[in-house]
Amino acid sequence: MLNGLTENLVLTEEKASQMPPLTLAYIGDSVFDLYVRTKYVLGCSKNAGALHSMSIRLVNARAQAAFAHRWMERFTEAEADIFRRGRNAKSPSPPKNMSIADYKYATALEAVIGYLFLTGQDGRIDEILGTLDFEV
């Protein structure tokens, strides 16, 4: 889905794995959000307000943490390492309106998605995020 964007901007797995986990989560958050929004826009014909309401059910720390728990055992060794680093990263500010545990797991998932995006593994992103429960 995001192939054209990463075509000439791919990092090696080694270089990407050396990036700070919160940096990986920063880009992963955007990729996750874009993926969900794109799936909804292409999958149904609703107005922007309805699309937003549908999207925020999946793009929030609680939903992402629950999704991360379902995927943890299926991550590759490299993804599991990124996940652990993302989960253990010290956040510059405490989360608001969510549990610290949910925030850490959501950040960890976003770090994995960011890592996959920066290394050009769009097929793996589709494999993982394609299992989200998209309600139309």
Surface-to-core class of residue 47, CB atoms within 10 Å of its CB (0-12 exposed, 13-18 middle, 19+ buried): exposed
Cα–Cα distance measured from residue 105 to residue 25, given in angstroms and rounded to the nearest whole number: 11
The active-site residue out of 29, 33, 122, 126 is 29
Catalytic: 33?
Answer: no
Catalytic positions are 29
